[in-house]
Chains A and B, each alone.
Chain A
C-alpha cells in the first residue's frame, strides 16, 4: 500500500503534474501493482549477478565503445534541425526559463 503523500513525492521526482483525481487513481493502481510485484521478494538472489544487457557476450568489442574525437560535418546540420524542433529558441539556442537566481545581498 502506498499513501497519497508518497504518490505526490514520486510525481515530484518524475516531474509529473498530477490532478487530484489522478493522484487518487494512481494511489490505487500503484498499490495494486506494487503489491503484485512483491512475489519476487522471497527469492534468494544473494548469489546471482544482474543482467543489464542480455547479449553482451556476443559483442566483439567489450565494455564502452568509443569513436574518434573528430568533427562530424553532418552533425552541425543535424544540430540545427534539432534546435529548430525545440518549442522555444533564440538565435540558434534553445530558450530556457531562468535557472540561476540573482544574488540578493
Chain B
C-alpha cells in the first residue's frame, strides 16, 4: 500500500475497515518526512507528540466501535501563520522564533473536533509576504518536481508537502495568490475561498481585507471535503459569513441547491488574461484544458475584465498599507526578543527590535504601506486604490451576470529558479498578476493542475461567484479525472 498517495475517503475506509490504524498512518507519514524533507525543506516544525496522541484518540474511538468523522485520523500540515495551541508559531520570521501559540485558530479547532492528525507546521515567505518561499527567515523550500526551482509562495511549504506526499492535505493562506500559485507550481489543488467563508481567527494578520485560509490537497474532491469542514460563521471573526448564506439572503438569481451539469455551464475566458508575456506552452495547456470542458458540453464565452491591468498596483497599495498597520504590534513589548535591555529608551526598543526581527521584504512592505498611508499621500495612493478596487469588483459582477465561472491561468509561467527574482522586488510583485483580482473582489478561486511544461506543473485557475465554492470545486473535480 502506498500510504502517501491515499485520499481522504481511502484513509477513512481503511481506518473503519481496520486495514491500518491511525497511529500506523501517522508514524508512516512522520517517517517519510524525517527521511525526505531534508531535500524539500517544507516543514519548520514537526508536531510529533501531538500527532501521535491525536492518532491514538482516533484508534480508541474505532476500538470502542464509535463512529468516526470523515477527517478523523487524516494527517495534515498547517502553514506556520495559523495558530495551533501549544506549538511554535513563527510566520517564518525571526521576530516570532520563540513564540508558542496560546490558542488554536478556529479552523484548527474544527479539524481537531474532526480528529484530524496535525503532523507539523510548514514554511512560508515571512508573514506570507512573497511568491517563492525564499523570503522565509529560516530557509527556502524547494519544488519537489525540480529542486533547483521555487515551490511558489507564500504557502510554498504546504504545497510542497502535499506534492511530496508528506501529508494528505494542508492548510494555507491566500492574500494575493499564496495558495493558488504554489498549488500551481507544485501540481496540486488549492482553494482560496470567498472572503468571509472561513474564519480568520487565529490566522496571523497580513492584510485583513484580503486574507483567507484555504485547503491544499492532491484532488479537488479532498479540497472540497476540507473546505466543508473549516468554513462557516465564527463569532470571533465578525467578517465571517454563515455557510448557507446564499439561501439565507434569498439570492434567487443563483441556484442555492444547484444541480451540477456540465452541459449547462457557461465559462468565461477573460481576454485580458491571455496577453503578451504569458509562456506559449502554458497558454497552450490552459487552452487545451478549456477545450476539454467544451467537449463535455460547457459553453465557452470570451469576456472582458477591463480593469485587470490596475490589479497589481491596487493590490500592492492595499496590502502593504494593511500590513504596515497589522505589523505595528511586533514592537518588542508584546512580541520579540529581549532587545530592550540594550536600548536606551522606548523608541529605540521599537527601532532595534524591528530592525533585527524583520527580513528585507517585510521591511520593504512596511515602508511602502507607511508611505501610502502617510499624510499627503493617503488620498492619492490608499484611497484611490480602494476606489479602483470597486471598479475591479464591478468587472467581475458584470461578468458573472452571463457566466458561471471564469477560466484563466494561475501564473504566466511555470516555477522559476531559486534566486532568479529575489533581488528584483517589482518583478516578484508582477508574479501575482493573475491571482490578486480574486482577493481584491473577495471571490473564490481554485487552482487545478492541468498539465506539464518541460516537466513542471501548470495550473488552471477557476474563479467563481461569491460563496459558490461548491460550483467551482465540482468543475475542478472534472480535472481530477482527466489524465494529464
- How far is the CB of A10 from the nearest CB of chain B, in Å? 5
- Residues of B within 8 Å of A29, CB to CB, are 364, 425-426
- Residues of A within 8 Å of B99, CB to CB, are 85
Assuming A32-B426, A33-B426, A58-B249, is B385 touching A40 (CB within 8 A)? yes
Q: Is B284 an interface residue (CB 8 A)?
A: no
Q: Is A20 an interface residue (CB 8 A)?
A: no
- Residues of A within 8 Å of B313, CB to CB, are 36-37, 39-40
Q: Which of A39, A48, A53, A67 contacts B391 (CB 8 A)?
A: A48
Q: Is B402 an interface residue (CB 8 A)?
A: no
Assuming A37-B313, A81-B102, is B441 touching A54 (CB within 8 A)? yes
Compute how far the CA of A53 lies from the CA of B466 in the bound complex, rounded to whole angstroms.
13
- Residues of A within 8 Å of B426, CB to CB, are 29, 32-33, 36
Q: Which residue of A lies closest to B249 (CB)?
A: A58
| B367 contacts A30, C-beta separation under 8 Å | yes
Q: Which of A13, A15, A40 contacts B384 (CB 8 A)?
A: A40
The interface stretch among B34-42, B70-78, B275-283, B368-376 is B368-376
| B331 contacts A15, C-beta separation under 8 Å | yes
Assuming A10-B367, A59-B241, A85-B102, is B346 touching A98 (CB within 8 A)? yes
| B370 contacts A52, C-beta separation under 8 Å | no
Q: Is A92 an interface residue (CB 8 A)?
A: no
The interface bits of chain A over 58-96 (1 if a CB of B lies within 8 angstroms of the residue's CB, else 0) are: 111000010100000000001001100111100000101
| B386 contacts A50, C-beta separation under 8 Å | yes
Compute how far the CA of A22 lies from the CA of B388 in the bound complex, rounded to whole angstroms.
32
Q: Which residue of B lies closest to A50 (CB)?
A: B386
Q: How large is the interface on B (under 10, 10 to 19, 20 to 34, 35 or more residues)?
A: 35 or more
Q: Is B383 an interface residue (CB 8 A)?
A: yes
| B351 contacts A15, C-beta separation under 8 Å | yes
Q: Which of A33, A54, A88 has the most CB of B within 10 A?
A: A54
Q: Is B434 an interface residue (CB 8 A)?
A: no
- Residues of A within 8 Å of B245, CB to CB, are 58, 60
Compute how far the CA of A34 lies from the CA of B371 in the bound complex, rounded to whole angstroms.
9
Which label, helix, strand, loop or mixed, suits the secondary structure of the A interface? loop
Q: Which residue of B lies closest to A35 (CB)?
A: B426
- Residues of B within 8 Å of A67, CB to CB, are 235
Q: Is B345 an interface residue (CB 8 A)?
A: yes
B:202-258 near A, CB below 8 Å: 209, 235, 238-239, 241-242, 245, 248-249
The interface stretch among B24-32, B143-151, B333-341, B406-414 is B333-341
Q: Is A1 an interface residue (CB 8 A)?
A: no
- Residues of A within 8 Å of B367, CB to CB, are 7, 10-11, 14, 16, 26, 30
Q: Is B387 an interface residue (CB 8 A)?
A: yes
- How far is the CB of A1 from the nearest CB of chain B, in Å? 13
- Residues of A within 8 Å of B333, CB to CB, are 86-87, 94, 96
| A15 contacts B328, C-beta separation under 8 Å | yes
| B350 contacts A87, C-beta separation under 8 Å | no
Q: Is B100 an interface residue (CB 8 A)?
A: yes
Assuming A49-B387, A88-B340, A96-B333, is B393 touching A43 (CB within 8 A)? no
| A40 contacts B388, C-beta separation under 8 Å | yes
Given A13-B374, A51-B387, A99-B346, 17 more A-B residue pairs with CB atoms under 8 Å apart are: A17-B355, A26-B363, A29-B426, A30-B367, A33-B429, A36-B313, A37-B316, A40-B314, A40-B385, A43-B388, A50-B387, A52-B386, A54-B440, A58-B466, A82-B102, A97-B340, A98-B346
> Can you name 23 A-B pairs with beta carbons within 8 Å?
A7-B367, A10-B370, A15-B354, A16-B355, A16-B363, A26-B364, A30-B367, A33-B316, A34-B368, A34-B371, A40-B314, A40-B385, A41-B380, A43-B388, A48-B387, A50-B386, A58-B241, A67-B235, A82-B102, A85-B99, A86-B335, A87-B336, A87-B338
